[in-house]
Structure 1
Amino acid sequence: MPKNLIPLTALCLALSACTTVPFSAGQAPSSQSVAPYRDQIELAGRLNVVYQKNDKPESATVNFTWQQTAQRTDVTLFSPVGSTLATIAVTPQEAVLTQSGKPPRSAPDVDTLSSRLLGWSLPVSGLRDWLQGHALAQDGQRFVASPQNDQVTTKDGWRLRFVSWQDGSDTAAGAPPRPRRIDAERNASAQADAVSLRIVLDPVTSASAP
């Protein structure tokens, strides 16, 4: 081989080796789906919502904690400075929303209740699935997300995208990927106003993983 081709060959080999680097932080193996759905979880994070009020776009950003069991979901919404804005308790029988300094209000449907009291709809029933990377798809089939299969339209008209995933350092080695950021959007209809949500979940530590 001519001497002047040796450095070029070495360079090509080095470049080809660079294409096989392992997944960096925040990425997960694209062939692996999220873990099986669990009835009982505890999560926290931040939520940004854009919605329509009096035909004008409005937005809000809140922190939240989320606790669910098979029969109940409890959500607490906090302002960016940490004061409690509202608590929501949902059971199969009713949803109860309590705002600071106001008496509790209840209704059978939490989406309608939150829309009326907060100004925007919080789809708690859907979020029980979405926060774990699951959903009920438009065709009625169960959807299970993965970094390679990260978008779905739900049966009730929400367009979901699982934008990013928990950093691998936050979960046990070899554990299934967990959602980090979820974008959800719903167009206006006769039954509901247009709204879009951006949800960013706090890291899940290995101690809290199943």
Structure 2
Amino acid sequence: MHFTNRLRFFLLHSLLFATFLIAGCAHPISGKAQSDSLKEFWTGRISLNIKSEPAQSFSAGFELKGKPERGELTLISPLGNVLGVLRWSPGEAELDSGNQKIQRFDSVDALMAQATGAAVPLTALFAWLQGDNANISGWSADLSRHDEGRILAKRSQPTPEADLRIVLD
């Protein structure tokens, strides 16, 4: 079975429980001691629920480092196993699932869609993590609990609708 299909199967059936464990007050790992400059490293939990038929759900721990132009997103199971590492830089994007051949993509949007089941707007994600309510077509973000390390974003267009939740450690 293809890595992303195995990943989705595992997440849909085994990690759904992890979604219910998302709780607590959280802060970016880079901490308050850092200056007001932009942070480039976050850890926490991420879930994506896609309101398709049948509904799809994705949930994992994560480590995100870098910027929208160049970065790395590591997805981690509740047991601490690395599920995959997504890397991107100008002109290239790849998914490293560990024991399989590295998959290459034309864009970071295609990479995110393959890994999570929906095109998550990476530039907006970085802005939301910084507390900036970036305006992206089809998406709306609720940053009212950003100070607690919680972000909620909803996609209304294109269909199917999707809910993205982030809880920072």
Query: Partner of 1:79 in structure 2?
Result: 77
TM-score normalised according to structure 2 size: 0.69
The answer to whether structure 1 residue 160 and structure 2 residue 122 are counterparts is: no
More helix by share: 2
Task: Tell me the residue number matched to 1:171.
Answer: none
Aligned to 2:149: 180
Cα deviations across residues 71-91 of structure 1 (Å, max 9, x unaligned)? 521110001111111111111
Aligned twin of 1:45 = 44
- 1:123 aligns with 121
Deviation string for 1:143-194 (max 9, x for gaps)? xxxxxxxxxxx2322110014244xxxxxxxxxxxx61000110242xx643
Count of aligned positions: 136
The DSSP-based 3-state class of the residue aligned with 1:56 is coil
Q: Which has the larger radius of gyration?
A: 1
Give the letter for the 1:108 counterpart. Answer: D
Structure 1 residues not aligned, in runs of 5+: 1-25, 27-34, 137-153, 167-178, 203-210
What is the CA–CA distance in structure 2 between the aligned matches of 1:80 and 1:155, rounded to whole Å?
31
Moved over 3 A (4+): none
Are the structure 2 counterparts of residues 155 and 74 from structure 1 closer, same or farther at C-alpha, using a change threshold of 3 Å? same
Report the CA distance shift for 1:65/1:117 in structure 2 as closer, same or farther (over 3 A): closer
Could you state the TM-score of these two structures normalised by the residue count of structure 1?
A: 0.57
SS in 2 for 1:127: helix
**One-letter amino acid matched to 2:106:** P
What secondary structure, in the 3-state scheme, does the structure 1 residue paired with 2:120 have?
A: coil
* Alignment check: 8 A CA contact 1:98 1:104 kept: yes
- Determine helix, strand or coil for the equivalent of 1:155: coil
> 1:50 Cα shift?
0.2
The counterpart of 1:89, out of the listed 69, 87, 90, is 87
CA–CA distance in structure 2, aligned partners of residues 184 and 120 of structure 1: 13
CA distance in 2, matches of 1:117, 1:56: 18
Question: Root-mean-square deviation (CA), in Å?
Answer: 2.4
Structure 2 match to 1:18? none
Q: Specify the SS of the correspondent of 1:103.
A: coil
- 1:127-206 paired onto structure 2 within 5 Å: 127-136=125-134, 154-166=135-147, 180-189=149-158, 193-202=160-169
Q: Decide whether the 8 Å contact of 2:48 with 2:116 is kept in 1.
A: no
